[in-house]
Amino acid sequence: MKATRRDLFKFAAGGATGLLLTPAPWRLVTDAALWSENWPGIPKPVRGELRTRFTHCALCPAGCAVKARCVGDQPISLIGLPGKPLCAFGLMGHQLPYHAGRVRQADADAVRAVIAKRAANETVAVLDLRPGRTASWTYRRAMAALPRGVYLAARSSVPAVNLDAVKIILSLGVPVLDGWGTPSNVQQARSHFRLIQAEPAESRTALLADQWLKIRPGTELELVEALATGRGGAGTGLNEKVIASVANELVQAGALFLAAEESPSVLELNRKLGAVGKTIVAQREAPVPRSWKPAPVTPINSVPERSIGVLLIDESAADSYVPWSKLEGKLAPDALVVTFASSQAGYGRQAKHLLPTAVYPESTGDIPPAIDSPLATFRLTTPLVAPPRGVVNPAQFIGGLAAIDAADALRERAGAIHAAGRGSVCTYADGRSIPVEDIQPDQFWKALNDGACWIDEPGGKLLPPVLRASTPAVVALNWEKRAARGPMPPLVSKLYQESNLRVRI
Max avg pLDDT among 136-145, 164-173, 185-194, 242-251? 136-145
Structure confidence by residue, pLDDT tens digits, 165-199: 899 999 998 999 988 889 889 989 999 999 999 99
Structure confidence by residue, pLDDT tens digits, 356-396: 999 999 999 999 998 898 889 999 999 999 999 999 999 99
Structure confidence by residue, pLDDT tens digits, 191-229: 999 999 999 999 999 999 999 999 999 898 899 889 888
Distance in angstroms (rounded) separating the CA atoms of residues 51 and 73: 8
Please give the share of the chain, as a percent, with pLDDT higher than 90: 55
pLDDT attached to residue 6:
61
Beta strands 424-427 and 194-198, pairing class: unpaired
Question: Mean pLDDT throughout 462-487?
Answer: 37
Secondary structure (H, E, C), 43-80: CCCCCCCEEEEEEECCCCCCCCEEEEEEECCEEEEEEC
Are 294 and 210 in contact by the 8 Å Cβ rule? The answer is no
Is 471's pLDDT higher than 50? no
Is 470's pLDDT higher than 80? no
Tell which wins on pLDDT, 46 or 457: 457
Q: Is 430 left (phi over 0), alpha (psi -120 to 50) or beta?
A: alpha
Q: How many CA atoms lie within 13 A of 247 on its CB side?
A: 20
pLDDT attached to residue 67:
96
pLDDT attached to residue 469:
30
Are 87 and 485 in contact by the 8 Å Cβ rule? The answer is no
Distance in angstroms (rounded) separating the CA atoms of residues 3 and 355: 79
pLDDT attached to residue 15:
58
Specify which residues 55 forms β-bridges with. 66
pLDDT attached to residue 262:
59
pLDDT attached to residue 115:
96
Distance in angstroms (rounded) separating the CA atoms of residues 212 and 203: 10
For the chain, list the domains and their CATH numbers. 50-98 (2.20.25), 108-158+285-455 (3.40.50), 160-281+475-480+489-498 (3.40.228.10)
| Whole-structure pTM value | 0.81
Structure confidence by residue, pLDDT tens digits, 73-122: 899 999 999 989 898 889 999 999 988 889 888 899 999 999 999 998 99
Beta strands 123-128 and 149-153, pairing class: parallel
pLDDT attached to residue 500:
37
Structure confidence by residue, pLDDT tens digits, 413-437: 999 999 999 999 999 988 899 999 9
Please give the share of the chain, as a percent, with pLDDT higher than 70: 83
pLDDT attached to residue 21:
65
